[in-house]
């Protein structure tokens, strides 16, 4: 039995996330966590909300609420939606937790002690009306190049020219619209990542089994141009982790907070601490290699936009601390899911959002489609036509109908109990050999975190059951040899339990219904399929379950396609 630490990139707090966010990190992480638990491994599956930074402050302001209150509410909303999708976190934490404050400050202190923090003075635009410094992109004005009147301080979206905020004609705050701006000097802390470049580079080079997407992004940042740059880790904001050097004040840094990208990944550790405080568990045996974590295998899941922070910045924090923290062993990254020819977008309200998805269909439909089309090698495209066709075919016709035809046949020809009699022949031996091969392949793909391939193999396992029934035709056999038909259908009913166990990581709710219908709590993995197909003995009662997956009709599809064609607020 292994010990597996799994983290999913932590979703930002400023609103409800769309399906692209789900398939890019949380869902595949959950698939892996559920699978590893099913195989008997000890799993710690951690996620959280990422709550600091300017966008959170602005979203709170828009909602007319204090930012702490807003974050607390949105955290609950996201937790509820996550539960709705069956995300089986051991803990869903908050980056604003006291545990994360303490840990973030401790890391900063350690890095300073190691000589990896530099204080840098810089000039930034301050808005008197807003009472705050403004990040470049929150300053608007007229572009000196093309005259576009909504150019941002970092770039003009109209002519794409790169700008400095001071280039803008009539600059104003994008938050309040105020033109009462001035340039002020302010001091910030920089993490000297450049000093760790060689160490990070050697570490990345040693990860030959990582997805190309992960290592190519990391190498690009390491070697492009002047190489890995030092990074500012503080901001002039109110909402965040106050800058401290461990438990001590940090002279000159009063009133500043750590940059959200510094404290967010540390929340993986802090969230485990939160879990420990809640449950009485031991978090350090997951994170400190001097306190029991040396045999932990740590796997991270994330979208490609998060890769630089997880391959470089966070490891720089860990390595730079010179303390025995657990480093990630494998980073599984994903491309984007597109919607209707363009990107899903939280800020533009484009696409299907997680709450809406759960409103129209049970989680398993989404889990299955999104996972079986996970954007592993390139961006993937969501279309309603594909979603309808694939979900109906795989879930309703192949799996759902298998359960239905087997249970109903047994009920009508025998009873709602596994019938006795008969013995395996060649067909059964062949089926068991075939399924065993497929199950071993499925296990290998799941262990490799090859999401699409796993889904494809699982589908093949479902199909094999239908092939067997079609070839052996128990409904015909029954007329001349009821005992043989009894054997066939007893095997098929046992197959439903096996399917439930194998499918649970993808479609946990349907799997639970299948087990409930089979009237069993036996979720043991079919290491030995021959034995597993005898788990439910002759005479064991079952009930015909309700339709597992109702079909998505053309009317539904057209209605939804229209409903989600525009944008939402």
Partner RNA sequence: GGCGUUAUAGCUCAGUUGGUUAGAGCGAACGACUCAUAAUCGUUAGGUCCCAGGUUCAAGUCCCGGUAACGCCA
C-alpha 523/C-alpha 204 separation (Å) is: 39
Nearer to RNA, 121 or 470 (CB): 470
The nearest distance, CB 135 to RNA, in angstroms, is 13
The nearest distance, CB 275 to RNA, in angstroms, is 32
Q: Residue 156: beta bridge partners? A: none
Nearer to RNA, 92 or 387 (CB): 387
Interface positions with RNA (CB under 7 A): 155, 160, 162, 212-213, 216-217, 220, 224-225, 304-305, 336, 343, 373, 375-381, 386, 389-390, 393, 395-401, 403-406, 408-409, 412, 452-453, 456, 463, 466-467, 469-471, 473, 475-476, 547-551
Nearer to RNA, 3 or 556 (CB): 556
Nearer to RNA, 87 or 403 (CB): 403
C-alpha 33/C-alpha 454 separation (Å) is: 14
C-alpha dist (Å) from residue 433 to 102, 480, 501 = 55, 27, 18
Nearer to RNA, 171 or 362 (CB): 362
Q: Are 45 and 89 in contact (CB under 8 A)?
A: yes
Query: What are the backbone dihedrals phi and psi of residue 302, each rounded to the nearest 5 degrees, phi first?
Result: -165, 165
The nearest distance, CB 58 to RNA, in angstroms, is 19
Task: Name the DSSP letter for residue 345.
Answer: B
Cα within 13 Å of Cα(459), Cβ side: 19
Using DSSP, state whether 337 is helix, strand or coil.
strand
The nearest distance, CB 346 to RNA, in angstroms, is 13
C-alpha 179/C-alpha 185 separation (Å) is: 19
The nearest distance, CB 332 to RNA, in angstroms, is 14
C-alpha 17/C-alpha 139 separation (Å) is: 26
Nearer to RNA, 213 or 331 (CB): 213
Using DSSP, state whether 338 is helix, strand or coil.
strand
Print burial letters for 400-420: b (CB count within 10 Å at least 16), e (below 16).
bbbbbbbbebbeebbeebbbe
Nearer to RNA, 232 or 292 (CB): 232
Nearer to RNA, 280 or 341 (CB): 341
Question: Helices (DSSP H) in 168-321: which residue ranges?
Answer: 197-205, 212-223, 260-279, 284-287, 307-308, 314-321
Q: Are 101 and 247 in contact (CB under 8 A)?
A: no
C-alpha 79/C-alpha 100 separation (Å) is: 18
Nearer to RNA, 38 or 398 (CB): 398
Q: Are 46 and 328 in contact (CB under 8 A)?
A: no
Nearer to RNA, 268 or 336 (CB): 336
Query: What are the backbone dihedrals phi and psi of residue 9, each rounded to the nearest 5 degrees, phi first?
Result: -50, 140
C-alpha 236/C-alpha 75 separation (Å) is: 24
Nearer to RNA, 276 or 417 (CB): 417
Q: Are 353 and 344 in contact (CB under 8 A)?
A: no
The nearest distance, CB 244 to RNA, in angstroms, is 28
Angle, CA 4 vertex, CA 191 and CA 85 arms, to 5°: 90
The nearest distance, CB 155 to RNA, in angstroms, is 7
Nearer to RNA, 275 or 344 (CB): 344
Using DSSP, state whether 479 is helix, strand or coil.
helix
C-alpha 7/C-alpha 16 separation (Å) is: 20
User: Could you tell me which residues come within 8 angstroms of residue 479 by beta carbon, excluding any fewer than 6 positions away?
Assistant: none
Residues in the chain: 569
C-alpha dist (Å) from residue 422 to 248, 316, 469, 488, 536 = 77, 65, 16, 8, 15
The nearest distance, CB 553 to RNA, in angstroms, is 10
Nearer to RNA, 507 or 533 (CB): 507
Nearer to RNA, 62 or 393 (CB): 393
The nearest distance, CB 347 to RNA, in angstroms, is 12
The nearest distance, CB 160 to RNA, in angstroms, is 7
Instruction: Look up tokens 């363009």; give the residue.
Output: 342
The nearest distance, CB 468 to RNA, in angstroms, is 9
The nearest distance, CB 337 to RNA, in angstroms, is 9
The nearest distance, CB 489 to RNA, in angstroms, is 9
The nearest distance, CB 535 to RNA, in angstroms, is 22
C-alpha 520/C-alpha 536 separation (Å) is: 8
Using DSSP, state whether 533 is helix, strand or coil.
coil
Nearer to RNA, 44 or 213 (CB): 213
Query: What are the backbone dihedrals phi and psi of residue 46, each rounded to the nearest 5 degrees, phi first?
Result: -120, 135
Radius of gyration of the chain (CA): 27
The nearest distance, CB 484 to RNA, in angstroms, is 15
């Amino acid at each position: 039995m292994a010990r597996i630490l799994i983290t999913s990139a932590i979703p930002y707090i400023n609103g409800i996330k769309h399906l692209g966010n789900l398939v890019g990190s949380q869902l595949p992480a959950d698939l892996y966590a559920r699978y590893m638990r099913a195989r008997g491994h000890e799993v710690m599956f951690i996620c959280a909300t990422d709550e600091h930074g300017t966008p959170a402050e602005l979203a709170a302001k828009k909602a007319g609420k204090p930012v702490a209150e807003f974050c607390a509410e949105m955290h609950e909303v996201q937790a509820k939606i996550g539960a709705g999708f069956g995300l089986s976190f051991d803990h869903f934490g908050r980056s604003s937790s006291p545990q994360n404050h303490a840990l973030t400050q401790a890391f900063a202190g350690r890095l300073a002690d190691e000589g990896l923090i530099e204080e840098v003075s810089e000039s930034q635009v301050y808005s008197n009306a807003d009472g705050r410094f403004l990040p470049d992109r929150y300053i608007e004005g007229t572009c000196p190049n093309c005259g576009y009147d909504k150019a941002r301080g970092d770039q003009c979206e109209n002519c794409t020219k790169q700008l400095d905020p001071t280039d803008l004609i009539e600059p104003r705050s994008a938050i309040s619209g105020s033109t009462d701006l001035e340039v002020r000097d302010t001091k910030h802390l920089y993490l000297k990542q450049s000093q760790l470049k060689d160490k990070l580079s050697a570490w990345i080079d040693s990860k030959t089994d990582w997805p190309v997407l992960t290592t190519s992004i990391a190498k690009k940042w390491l070697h492009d141009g002047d190489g890995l740059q030092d990074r500012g880790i503080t901001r002039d904001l109110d909402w965040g982790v106050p800058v401290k050097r461990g438990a001590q004040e940090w002279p000159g840094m009063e009133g500043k907070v750590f940059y959200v990208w510094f404290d967010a990944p540390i929340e993986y550790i802090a969230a485990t601490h939160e879990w420990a405080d809640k449950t009485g568990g031991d978090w350090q045996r997951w994170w400190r290699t001097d306190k029991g974590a040396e045999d932990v295998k740590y796997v991270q899941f994330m979208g490609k936009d998060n890769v630089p922070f997880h391959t470089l910045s966070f490891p720089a924090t860990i390595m730079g601390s010179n303390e025995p923290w657990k480093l990630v062993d494998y980073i599984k990254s994903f491309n984007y899911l597109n919607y209707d020819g363009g990107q899903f977008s939280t800020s533009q309200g484009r696409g299907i959002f997680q709450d809406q998805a759960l409103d129209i269909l049970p989680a398993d439909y989404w889990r299955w489609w999104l996972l079986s089309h996970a954007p592993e090698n390139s961006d993937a495209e969501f279309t309603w036509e594909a979603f309808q066709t694939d979900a109906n075919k795989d879930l309703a016709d192949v799996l759902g109908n298998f359960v239905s035809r087997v249970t109903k046949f047994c009920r009508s020809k025998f009873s709602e109990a596994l019938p006795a009699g008969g013995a395996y022949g060649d067909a059964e031996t062949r089926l068991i050999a075939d399924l065993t091969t497929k199950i071993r392949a499925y296990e290998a793909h799941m262990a490799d975190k090859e999401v699409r391939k796993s889904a494809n193999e699982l589908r093949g396992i479902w199909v094999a059951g239908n092939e067997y029934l079609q070839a052996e035709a128990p409904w015909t056999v029954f007329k001349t040899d009821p005992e043989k038909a009894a054997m066939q259908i007893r095997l098929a009913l046992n197959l439903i339990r096996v399917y439930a166990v194998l499918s649970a990581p993808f479609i946990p709710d349907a799997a639970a219904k299948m087990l409930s219908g089979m009237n069993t709590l036996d979720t043991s993995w079919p290491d030995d399929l021959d034995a597993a197909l005898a788990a439910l003995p002759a005479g064991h009662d079952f009930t015909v379950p309700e339709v597992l997956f109702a079909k998505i009709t053309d009317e539904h599809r057209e209605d939804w396609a229209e409903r989600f064609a525009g944008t939402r607020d």
